[in-house]
Amino acid sequence: MKPHVLFCPAGLAHTNGPSHPESPERLQTLSALFSRLASEGTVSLSSIPAGKDLSLYDGPHHRYYLDMLASLNDSPRSPRRLDPDTAFSSATMTAILSTASALSLLIEACRNEGGNFFLAERPPGHHALPDRAMGFCIVNHAAALAWHLRRLHPESRIAVLDFDVHHGNGTEAILRGLGQILFISTHQYPFYPGTGSGRENTDGRKGEGILDIPLQEGTDDDWYRTILDETVFPRLERFQPTFLIVSAGFDAHREDPLGGLLLTEEIYHEIGERLCTLGCPFIASVLEGGYNLSALSRSVEAYLRGLNGPDSSLSRFRQS
C-alpha cells in the first residue's frame, strides 16, 4: 500500500535553540526526501496547514496543560523553556496546530477506507506526558490518535509500536489501562527517560496491554531481528490490530549521535515490510527521533520503501 506522507511545514519554524539535535534541519532534510520519493511515485505527499485549535489533544492531555500552552502563546516573552531540552514559542504553537490538523485527517481516514500514512512533523511527541512536556516533546501525537480512535471506535483493537531508541514513556502513561490497546516499545535501557524496564508489562487474554522490550547498548540488526521474530511480531499477530500506530523514531541507527544502538536502515526497511504483512487496513506512522540528518533520511526512505510492500528493492539497503 503506497504510503501517503502528511508533511507539516509549520514544523520547520519550531526551534529549540542553536546546536540542538532536534533541529528544523531534520524536517528540511526529509522535505527533500519526500519530494524525490513523490516524484518517482513511491509515496503520495500532502502539505498540512495549521488548524485552529488544540481540541484533539484535550483528553489525552489535561485541559489545564493545554490552557497553559495557549497562555504562553499569548505571552510576549518567547521562546520559553518547558523543560531543559524543550522550547516553546508561537512558532511551536503553529507547528502543533498543524499536527492537530493531520490527526483529524487520520481520524477521518479511519472512518473511511483506512490507508497507510506517515506523519512528518516537529516537535516529536512520545515523551509528552498528560500534564507536561518532556524530552523535545510537547504534545503526544501517537497517543492522541490512539486515544481518539479508542473513543470513536470502541470495538476496535489499537496497537501502538514505538521503535525509537528511547522508551515511549508518555505514550505508555496516556494509554496504560485503556481497553483493547497494545503498546509495544523497543528501546535502549538503561537510558533516557529511565522507564521501560519491562517490569510493568501486562498481557491480556487477546494480547492487549504493555510490552516494553529493553535493549542493551550495542544491540545490532541481527539481535533486533530476533526480537522482532520472537517477541514483537508474534504479539502483534496475536492481537490482530484494527488500527496500527507507529511511533517511528530513527535514533536507534548506528550513526545517531544520541542513541547507543547499532541498527541500520536495512532493519527499518524490514520493519516497514513486515508491518504490511499484518493485514491491518490502517497504519499511521508518526515521526519521533532521529538526529543524524543523513542517517535519518536514509532510514525514513528505507522504512517508506518497506511500507510499499515486499516488491520494493531491499538490495539497495544491504550493506556491502
Which residues are marked as active site? 127
Based on the shown chain and the rule CB under 5 A, indicate whether residue 3 belongs to the binding site for Zn ion: no
Least separation, in Å, of the C-beta of 87 and Zn ion? Answer: 17
Q: Which of residues 192-231 bind Zn ion (CB under 5 A)?
A: none
The pattern of x and - marking residues 108 through 147 that bind Zn ion according to CB under 5 A reads ----------------------------------------
Collect all residues with Cβ–Cβ distance below 8 Å to 67 and sequence separation of at least 6.
none
Stretch that binds Zn ion, among 43-51, 76-84, 201-209, 244-252 (CB under 5 A): 244-252
Stretch that binds Zn ion, among 36-44, 57-65, 195-203, 281-289 (CB under 5 A): 281-289
One residue of 22, 172, 251, 273 binding Zn ion per CB under 5 A: 251
CA atoms within 13 A on the CB side of 146: 35
Sheet holding 44-47, edge to edge: 44-47, 4-7, 115-120, 282-287, 243-248, 158-162, 181-188, 209-215
When the beta carbons of 100 and 252 are compared against Zn ion, the nearer one is 252
What are the cell numbers at 194? 529511565
299 secondary structure, DSSP code: H
Residue 160 Cα to chain centre, angstroms: 9
When the beta carbons of 209 and 290 are compared against Zn ion, the nearer one is 290
Q: How many residues bind Zn ion (CB under 5 A)?
A: 5
| Alpha helix segments (H runs only) across 233-308 | 233-239, 265-276, 293-307
Closest CA to 188 of 153, 157, 223, 140: 223
Stretch that binds Zn ion, among 160-168, 197-205, 234-242, 308-316 (CB under 5 A): 160-168
Q: Any idea how long the chain is?
A: 320
One residue of 207, 249, 272, 306 binding Zn ion per CB under 5 A: 249
Least separation, in Å, of the C-beta of 100 and Zn ion? Answer: 22
Based on the shown chain and the rule CB under 5 A, indicate whether residue 167 belongs to the binding site for Zn ion: no
231 secondary structure, DSSP code: I
Least separation, in Å, of the C-beta of 125 and Zn ion? Answer: 11
Residue nearest to Zn ion according to CB distances in the complex: 289
Return the H-helix or E-strand segment holding 25. helix 24-39
When the beta carbons of 45 and 252 are compared against Zn ion, the nearer one is 252
Stretch that binds Zn ion, among 61-69, 202-210, 245-253, 308-316 (CB under 5 A): 245-253
- Please spell the DSSP secondary structure of 41-94, one letter per residue: TS-EEEEPPP-S--GGGBTTB-HHHHHHHHHHHHSSS-SEEEETTEEE-HHHHH
Which positions lie near Zn ion, rule CB under 5 A? 164, 166, 249, 251, 289
